[in-house]
Amino acid sequence: MKKFLALLLSLALMATLLVGCGGGEKETGKTGDTKKVEDTKKDDTKKDDAKKDDTKEPANSKTVKVGITIYKFDDNFMTLYREELERYFKEELSNDEVTYEVTVVDGKNDQAEQTNQIQTFIADKYDVIIANLVQSSAASTVVNLCKDADIPVIFINREPTAEDLDLWDKVAYVGADARQSGTMQGEIIYDLENHGDLNGDGKVSYVMVIGDPENVDAQYRTEFSIKALTDKGIEVEELVAQRGDWDQAKGQEIVAAALTQYGDQIEVVFCNNDAMALGARQAIEAADRKVGENIYLVGVDALEEVVSYVKSGDITGTVLNDHIGQAHTAADVAVKAVNGEQLEKNYTVDYVKVTK
Ligand code: BGC
């Protein structure tokens, strides 16, 4: 009996050792045991996964290379846009399965340089390109380069023509309808008690500070801000319309010169963007004029600084150009393109009126 018990004990010990050493499939040759071993393995894998979740290690994850070129880094609005784009790819879209490796380059306001950057992305086999073109007219060249290499391209901020977008199905545009922002600028002025006619002479005399004439955002904002007034039967008079290249210092120069030349005749200053409105505000202050009392000023973008001037009454109003919504849409569309999903031609994000 003792011997039998001792035998049982040693058999049990051997069995424990076999299972314990974990390499038992072949040794045992029994399906039941194999299953157990596999289960143990699965459990280990689960533990590994849990570890990955904890540490956010992107081990074994697929890498998607995203090449982004911005028309120039030295632009207030596009800086906010590109920072959000990069953050969103890295912090919100990257996960255990896919890591978005994002490269953002400065087009330095030079189309030849930017076209070279796109060619480098292509040579380096990027998976998708996001392009904020220096000149929208370069879109067809860029589409053809990308098409030859079969790399989808998403245009942002500067809208190409419908014909350019039709050149290939892996092309899309993400932006906002600049007609809407222009109309809202005009409405901000129309909604004032005097509809912008400060001196009561029956017409609104204005200065228009233009972004750059090749850009549809500039064209539409210039046209539709005034159309919103004339559509409502308001008479207008253009005193100055000048190109400020979206730039604060140029906005200041243009408005300072206009104030010197036309003085009190100027009732409204329309700026195609907020950077130029910030410059205009400096010129207005330097000329001892007071926004809301003897002049009005509107911009587009809703930069933080401008919103605080709207609150304090130093700028009449602006229009939110939603860089966060546009950045997220651009990234989401780029991901769709990489995944081979069918793209729409245009994705637009709404503007929002901002007044006190
Ligand atoms: C913005 C401007 C910016 C321009 C760049 C416009 O939509 O309102 O602030 O300079 O885009 O293309």
Average pLDDT of the residues in 193-203:
97
DSSP SS3 for 316 = coil
Q: Is the CB–ligand 1 distance for residue 155 below 6 Å? A: no
Q: How far is the CA of 218 from the centre of ligand 1 (A)?
A: 8
Q: How far is the CA of 319 from the centre of ligand 1 (A)?
A: 12
* DSSP string computed for 74-131: --HHHHHHHHHHHHIIIIII--SSEEEEEEEEE-TT-HHHHHHHHHHHHHTT-SEEEE
Distance between CA 194 and CA 292 in Å, rounded? 11
The architecture that CATH gives domain 179-320 is 3-Layer(aba) Sandwich (3.40)
Q: Is the CB–ligand 1 distance for residue 301 below 6 Å? A: yes
pLDDT recorded at residue 59 = 60
pLDDT digits over 294-345, tens only? 999 999 999 999 999 999 999 999 999 999 999 999 999 999 999 999 999 9
Q: Which CATH number fits domain 62-176+323-349: 3.30.70.1050, 3.40.50.2300, 3.90.1200.10, 1.20.1260.10?
A: 3.40.50.2300
Look at residue 136 and tell me whether its pLDDT is greater than 80: yes
Q: Is the CB–ligand 1 distance for residue 246 below 6 Å? A: yes
pLDDT recorded at residue 1 = 42
Q: Which residue has the higher pLDDT, 7 or 67?
A: 67
Q: Where are the domains of the chain?
A: 62-176+323-349, 179-320
By alpha-carbon position, which residue is closest to atom 10 of ligand 1?
Answer: 246
Domains 62-176+323-349 and 179-320 share a fold: yes
Q: Is the CB–ligand 1 distance for residue 78 below 6 Å? A: yes
Residue 175 CB partners (closer than 8 Å, separation 6+): 155, 156, 157, 158, 159, 326, 346, 347, 348, 349
Look at residue 91 and tell me whether its pLDDT is greater than 70: yes
Residue 275 CA: nearest ligand 1 atom is 9
* DSSP string computed for 26-69: HHH--HHHHHHHHHHHHHHHHHHHHHHHHHT--TT-EEEEEEEE
Q: Is the CB–ligand 1 distance for residue 273 below 6 Å? A: yes
What's this model's pTM, rounded to 2 decimal places? 0.82
